[in-house]
Amino acid sequence: MKKISSISWLIVLMLVSGCWDRNEINDYAFWIGTALDLSEDGNLEKSAQIAVPAGFKSTGRGGSDQRGNIVVTASGSSVVDLEQQVQDKLPRRIFLGHRRAIFIGESLARKGIVSIMDQFTRNTDTRLRTDIFVVNNGKGRDVLEVNSPFNKFSSIVAVDQDRFCRLGDTALRDVLLDIGRDGIRPSMPMVEITARNKQEKNQIIEVKSVAIFNQYLQMVGKVTGRESLELFWMKGVLKDQFITEETESGNIALYESNLKKSIHTEINGDRIKAHVKLEGIGRVIENNTDIDISDTPQRVALERTLDTMKAKQIEATVKKLQGQYGQDVFGIGEEIHREHPYQWKKLRKNWDQLFPSVEVTVTVKLKIENMGGIGKRIPGIGAKE
Amino acid sequence: METSIPIEVDESVKLNHDALLQIFQNCADIVFRPLKLNDHLEILLVYIEELTDSSKLEQIISACMISRDSTRLTQYDSVTHFAAVVAKVLKGCTAIFIDGKPCAYLADLTSFNQRAINEPSNEAAIRGPREGFTEDLKTNLSMIRRKISHPNLKIEKHQAGELTNTEFVLAYIEDRVKPELLQEVKKRIHAIKTNQLMDSSYIEELIEDKTLSLFPQIQNTERPDTVSASLLAGRVAIIVDGSPNALLLPMSFWAGLQAAEDHYERFIYVSAIRVLRLLLAVLSCLLPSIYVALTSFHPQMIPLNLMLSISASREGIPFPTVVETLLMELMFEGLREAGLRLPRAIGSAVSIVGALVIGEAAVQAGFISAPIVMIVAGTGIASFAFPSYSVALPFRLLRFPLLILGGFLGLYGVAIGVMFIMIHLVTLKSFGMPYLKPVAPIGKNIWKDTIVRMNKRFVTEPQKNEENKLN
């Protein structure tokens, strides 16, 4: 009898304390992407890309014209208020746990995103593996409305694209971490819609730039293309990249992986020096020069030329960033903090003023490990015999 | 009418005849065959026609008649107790009473039709011996004795069942078995009080530790090689006359996940298969409940694309996922039960209809979502992966309470359910041996032959009582 009563108490306890939040999977509105923009009247505008599973269904059977998602827009003053407004427009409970990307319109980014970011750190529904983008010269909502042929959700397309050329879905985490430090300024990848031909129109988005923020989380500038990759390499978050170099006799392209960076700082009175060492292991994929890579002396010479060229390029990029924006997106301040913790206490208050005057020297060490040679070279290039 | 039945066999054949006639009243199958040797010596043969090899009997009788000598008959075992004579006759012996001798001679001329030795249908093996136990105790014992030809293999005869008088034997290997275990088994066997013993499962039910547990605490097998191997490992076997299933005890949970073939195939492959079996065992129990818990409580744990597919296939489905899964699981179990005992020809028809109805029509009509069909089918396949049918049963049954827990409380509920099952398994004992031994409590020989099987070269053979200490 005692046993029975204890078991029934257990059952009651389980039922009373259990999580009664059962919700069928098709009663959820899966929120895949968010766009935050500045509306014309200066309010915050939030757009949500919501999955429509019924439209998603027919993908397996090939060719349906349905989008698989809808974009809902609301405008107001606070992000959470907007969430409520979005919910008001939907017949299913919104579910943020699967949000993959956040797009911030450039005008809003330039105005400042402090009031937006706080919500991401507090709302437990936010997953940290979300990517965050600034939309170059456009509104976030436009990106959500892109109809990519590869995936029903332009948000996921952007994340995947970012993964293959920049950071991938760790961007929000990285940005949040950077915001919390004082020796580094946040930077985030940018997407843009630039149709180059008819087919690309409304279908293709591009991830090629990086937006640079100051400590008040206002966007101050951007770098594009090669420079943006160099920025991430120096920051230490880039894993691999393609490098194309022009030598005197033609261009050579490498696929660089195992990218590493190490920064060493020196403080001599007022002068702050930073030595950056960048390393990588390369595979040659294009060689239009006369150099025979299979010949070790030639290859070593090539490696040296490439190293110095690359170092010069990166130094130029750093100079440009120091001069134009003056924001330490590389984390040199963090490195000083680590190596000279006591001096850093004095430096950190006016780091934004000091950073442009930091003398940065870059050494690059690319190792050609694989010359990518299958068969003979195409006759006419580098034929020496 | 009531005349006392004598205790001892009388010298007079006439008296014995009368007494037996009284005992075997209305037993049409008992034959009384009075003979007269040399015209004066009265002889009475009592036997059951259907259980006796009549040609052998005739041979003996005619030999006596020709030689005019009864010594041919007196070479058999003599019994003086009347009750023993009756018991033996009922077992198929021929009782011979000779005038002037106060005893009965019992000739074992038993012969009856029995099933031939077949491949064990529930424990088939691709490699290894193919013989399986039959219903005849003697045949079964012969199969074991052929495998272990050593005097240390002890076979003790017992009898139980007041009406059935069923014989059963206790087999063990003297210096391998733990004396306490043997003592405990004997104690429980002697405590058996029953009228009938139709099958070994009757004994199992009467002597097992926790009869309310879902998990079998005594292993049963149809394979003589499994029995022999278990005997060598220090276990005790109980073989019941009339039952093709021998009992092995003590049983560990892991025995239910091991097939006899595991010891014949190469060990790396076997180890991989055993890990797979364990995985499938867990799946067969947890797959539906985890699916339900994840989809209705924790959608953030499912990868986005998978979840969108599930969500898409659930569009317009009228039932909640729990109900849906429960319905399909019940349907599946019903189909299985229906197909089990049907004649083979109809059985396949049922499974086709079932598969079509459940798999295709229900999804097409939009009653059931497609992932559920996959989950149920996967669970079904997983539950067929158990080498032992009786170990698969608790997993089949536990699926349902876990499913309900998962449907009402999410992963929290599943965790509670699993916790209770684990607590039960850990506390369960089979004849003093922990059920999960050697995993919990962890033992030295955990890697020898439990979850994986070690190569026989690396495993030192148990010497005398050494193995017992480990157990």
| pLDDT tens for each residue of A315-334 | 999 998 898 888 888 888 99
Same domain, B388 and B274: yes
Asked which of A220-224, B111-115, B194-198, B267-271 is least confident by mean pLDDT, the reply is B111-115
Give yes or no for residue A42 having a pLDDT over 90: no
Confidence at residue A381, expressed as pLDDT on a 0 to 100 scale: 57
Give yes or no for residue A62 having a pLDDT over 60: no
Confidence at residue B2, expressed as pLDDT on a 0 to 100 scale: 47
A4-13, B52-61, B82-91, B138-147: range with highest mean pLDDT: B138-147
Q: Quick one: what percent of chain B has pLDDT higher than 90?
A: 34
DSSP 8-state class, residue A123: -
Confidence at residue B79, expressed as pLDDT on a 0 to 100 scale: 87
How does residue B154 score in pLDDT terms, banded at 50, 70 and 90?
A: very high
Task: Find the CB nearest A25 among B299, B409, B413.
Answer: B299
> What DSSP string runs through B393-432?
HHHHHHHHHHHHHHHHHTHHHHHHHHHHHHHHHHH-EETT
Confidence at residue A19, expressed as pLDDT on a 0 to 100 scale: 55
A24: nearest CA partner in chain B: B296
B345 inside domain: yes
Give yes or no for residue B438 having a pLDDT over 60: yes
Same domain, B292 and B427: yes
Average pLDDT over residues A150-177: 80
Residue B320 contacts A, CB cutoff 8 Å: yes
Q: Determine the residue among B291, B304, B372 to mutate to test chain A binding: the one whose Cβ has the most chain A Cβ atoms within 10 Å.
A: B304
B469 vs A164, residue with greater confidence: A164
Give A127 to chain B, closest Cα distance, Å: 9
DSSP 8-state class, residue B245: -
Domain residue limits, chain A: 25-224, 226-372
Per the prediction, chain A carries an average pLDDT of 83
Confidence at residue A63, expressed as pLDDT on a 0 to 100 scale: 46
Average pLDDT over residues A48-72: 70
Alpha carbon B152 to its chain centroid, in Å, reads 24
Domain membership of residue B174 as a residue range: 137-251
Q: Is A210 helix (H, G, I), strand (E, B) or coil?
A: strand
B459 inside domain: no
Q: Is A182 helix (H, G, I), strand (E, B) or coil?
A: coil
Average pLDDT over residues B199-212: 91
- Chain B contact set for A54 (CB, 8 A): 312, 315
Locate A332 and state its tokens.
């040199």
B456 inside domain: no
Confidence at residue B81, expressed as pLDDT on a 0 to 100 scale: 86
Q: Check A18 against B413: CB less than 8 A apart.
A: yes
Same domain, B349 and B286: yes
- Tokens 């459940």 identify what position? B358
pLDDT tens digit sequence for A214-268: 888 899 998 888 888 888 888 888 888 888 888 777 888 888 888 888 999 988 8
pLDDT tens digit sequence for B113-125: 888 888 888 888 8
Same domain, B321 and B374: yes
Same domain, B430 and B321: yes
Per the prediction, chain B carries an average pLDDT of 87
From A101, A155, A152, select the one nearest B309 (Cα to Cα). Answer: A152
Task: Find the CB nearest B409 among A19, A30, A53.
Answer: A19
- The structure's pTM equals 0.82
- Chain B contact set for A51 (CB, 8 A): 308, 311
- Chain A contact set for B315 (CB, 8 A): 26, 53-54, 57
Same domain, B278 and B150: no
Using alpha carbons, list the distances in angstroms from residue B64 to A227, B38, B93, B288, B317.
117, 10, 19, 74, 86
A152: nearest CA partner in chain B: B305
pLDDT tens digit sequence for B328-346: 899 888 888 887 788 877 7
Confidence at residue B133, expressed as pLDDT on a 0 to 100 scale: 93
B87 inside domain: yes
* CA–CA gap between residue A198 and residue B80 (Å, rounded): 112
- Tokens 């014995």 identify what position? B16
Q: Superfamily assignment of A226-372 in CATH? A: Nutrient germinant receptor protein C, domain 3 (3.30.300.210)
Give A205 to chain B, closest Cα distance, Å: 21
* Total number of domains constituting chain B: 3
Q: Determine the residue among B294, B296, B308 to mutate to test chain A binding: the one whose Cβ has the most chain A Cβ atoms within 10 Å.
A: B308
Same domain, B361 and B398: yes
B444 inside domain: no
Asked which of A61-65, B6-10, B177-181, B194-198 is least confident by mean pLDDT, the reply is A61-65
Q: Is A145 helix (H, G, I), strand (E, B) or coil?
A: coil
* CA–CA gap between residue A58 and residue A65 (Å, rounded): 9
Confidence at residue A169, expressed as pLDDT on a 0 to 100 scale: 62
Confidence at residue B224, expressed as pLDDT on a 0 to 100 scale: 94
Q: Determine the residue among A13, A22, A64 to mutate to test chain B binding: the one whose Cβ has the most chain B Cβ atoms within 10 Å.
A: A22
A96: nearest CA partner in chain B: B300
Task: Find the CB nearest B312 among A18, A56, A98.
Answer: A56
Confidence at residue B467, expressed as pLDDT on a 0 to 100 scale: 47
DSSP 8-state class, residue A25: G
Is the ipTM higher than 0.85? The answer is: no
* CA–CA gap between residue A118 and residue B33 (Å, rounded): 106
B63 inside domain: yes
Give yes or no for residue A184 having a pLDDT over 70: yes
Confidence at residue A7, expressed as pLDDT on a 0 to 100 scale: 83
Asked which of A48-52, B290-294, B465-469 is least confident by mean pLDDT, the reply is B465-469
Which residues in A have their CB inside 8 Å of a CB on B? 14-15, 18-19, 21-26, 28, 30, 32, 51, 53-54, 56-57, 95, 97-98, 100, 127, 156
- Tokens 């499974």 identify what position? B351
C-alpha atoms less than 13 angstroms from C-alpha of A263 in its C-beta half-sphere: 23
Q: State the pairing for strand pair A69-76/A101-105.
A: unpaired
Q: In the listed set B107, B124, B151, which residue is the last one of a domain according to the structure?
A: B107
* CA–CA gap between residue B22 and residue B124 (Å, rounded): 49
Give yes or no for residue B469 having a pLDDT over 50: no
Same domain, B223 and B179: yes
* CA–CA gap between residue A358 and residue A332 (Å, rounded): 9
Give yes or no for residue B466 having a pLDDT over 60: no
pLDDT tens digit sequence for A269-302: 888 899 999 998 888 888 887 777 778 888 888 8
A18: nearest CA partner in chain B: B409
Task: Find the CB nearest A22 among B297, B300, B311.
Answer: B297
Same domain, B278 and B382: yes
Q: Determine the residue among A26, A100, A129, A169 to mutate to test chain B binding: the one whose Cβ has the most chain B Cβ atoms within 10 Å.
A: A26
Same domain, B146 and B36: no
Give yes or no for residue A383 having a pLDDT over 60: no
Largest CA-CA distance found in chain A, in angstroms, rounded: 99
Confidence at residue A163, expressed as pLDDT on a 0 to 100 scale: 80
Average pLDDT over residues A4-31: 78
Same domain, B92 and B184: no
Residue B366 contacts A, CB cutoff 8 Å: no
Q: Check B297 against A51: CB less than 8 A apart.
A: no
Non-local (6+) Cβ contacts of A170 within 8 A are: A129, A131, A237
Confidence at residue B444, expressed as pLDDT on a 0 to 100 scale: 77
* CA–CA gap between residue A132 and residue A134 (Å, rounded): 7
Residue B407 contacts A, CB cutoff 8 Å: yes
Give yes or no for residue B183 having a pLDDT over 90: yes
A9 vs B3, residue with greater confidence: A9
